């Protein structure tokens, strides 16, 4: 498949999605959103892909919405009329929806600025690794609106209600080291190490027991919405199929034989 606003590559079980509108800070153009969805679908449906990485080209991860274009569209609306759909960020909502179907690890390598919807899109990743040059900003209040891509859902689940409310209400810039301190990102690394470190983790996961890794991801997100008893039952229901897998048998055999396991994803 040919893409124009992203770069999609697969190498040794890891798919990498690179947002490729550096001249526009990788802002959320409708075509880029559509291609992003297609790339996630490709990753989801390709049995050779075991983990997915998303990053940005140039100096920015994603600058959020195209505020100038949105302002032009909003000016076309009459008094009391809602702004056109692109202003409301409807096209970007396809990303979190398609990600609910991706059981594979999804890692954001945040190379630079992630603002507004760009920070929301980073928040959708299972794990975030940041360059020392990364900056995060929930920039919505500054333009008189609310998060448009699910920010009020994702951010409190990562950093807690109080920190999420403060970041969203003030719209202040959060530097990479603060993001690490509050648990928003897992690692902060020098810019030249961002992709090597991220891909090392992605390849490690890709080489692991994918049935178990994907099952863990499903349970983590499922259990966020369950009480403890329902969560325990979900674990109990998932366990037999995983323990009967070839990878589980291989893992236990390797432990007994004191050697590294050789997982095959079956």
Architecture of domain 210-257 in CATH? Orthogonal Bundle (1.10)
Distance of CA 63 to the CA centre of its chain: 15
pLDDT score at 265: 86
Sheet containing strand 113-115, strands side by side: 60-62, 113-115, 135-137, 173-175
Sign of CA dihedral 10, 11, 15, 16: negative
pLDDT score at 90: 41
Architecture of domain 6-206 in CATH? Alpha-Beta Complex (3.90)
pLDDT score at 80: 62
Pairing of strands 14-19, 60-62: unpaired
Q: Tens-of-pLDDT digits for all 266 residues of the chain? A: 789 999 999 999 999 999 999 999 999 999 999 999 999 999 999 999 999 999 999 999 999 987 655 555 555 555 566 655 544 434 789 999 999 999 999 999 999 999 999 999 999 999 999 999 999 999 999 999 999 899 999 999 999 999 999 999 999 999 999 999 999 999 999 999 999 999 999 999 999 999 999 999 999 999 999 999 999 999 999 999 999 999 999 999 989 999 999 998 89
CA distance to 28, 41, 104, 199, 238, per residue, from 33 (Å) = 6, 12, 20, 23, 33
Domain boundaries, the chain: 6-206, 210-257
Does this model's pTM top 0.75? Answer: yes
Q: Which of 4, 18, 12, 17 is nearest to 43 (CA)?
A: 17
pLDDT score at 67: 61
Q: Do domains 6-206 and 210-257 have the same CATH topology?
A: no
pLDDT score at 92: 85
Q: How buried is residue 4: exposed, middle or buried, by Cβ count under 10 Å (0-12/13-18/19+)?
A: exposed
């Amino acid at each position: 498949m040919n893409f124009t606003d992203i770069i999609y590559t697969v190498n040794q079980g890891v798919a990498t999605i690179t947002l490729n509108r550096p001249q526009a800070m990788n802002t959320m153009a409708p075509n880029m959103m559509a291609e992003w969805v297609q790339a996630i679908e490709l990753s989801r449906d390709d049995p050779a892909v075991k983990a997915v990485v998303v990053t940005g080209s140039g100096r920015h991860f994603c600058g959020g919405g195209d505020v100038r274009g949105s302002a032009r569209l909003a000016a076309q609306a009459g008094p009391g009329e809602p702004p056109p759909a692109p202003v409301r960020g409807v096209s970007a909502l396809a990303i979190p929806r398609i990600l609910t179907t991706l059981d594979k690890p999804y890692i954001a390598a945040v190379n630079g600025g992630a603002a507004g919807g760009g920070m929301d899109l980073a928040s959708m990743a299972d794990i975030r690794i940041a360059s020392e040059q990364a900056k995060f900003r929930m920039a919505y209040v500054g333009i008189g609106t609310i998060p448009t891509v699910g920010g009020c859902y994702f951010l409190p689940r990562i950093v807690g209600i109080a920190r999420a409310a403060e970041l969203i209400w003030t719209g202040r810039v959060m530097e990479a080291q603060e993001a690490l301190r509050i648990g928003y990102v897992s690692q902060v690394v020098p810019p030249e190490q961002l992709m090597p470190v991220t891909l090392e983790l992605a390849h490690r996961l890709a080489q692991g027991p994918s049935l178990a890794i994907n099952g863990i991801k499903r349970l983590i997100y499922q259990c966020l919405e369950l009480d403890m008893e329902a969560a325990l039952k979900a674990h109990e229901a998932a366990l037999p199929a995983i323990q009967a897998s070839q990878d589980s048998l291989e893992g236990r055999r390797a432990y007994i034989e004191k050697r590294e396991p050789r997982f095959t994803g079956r």
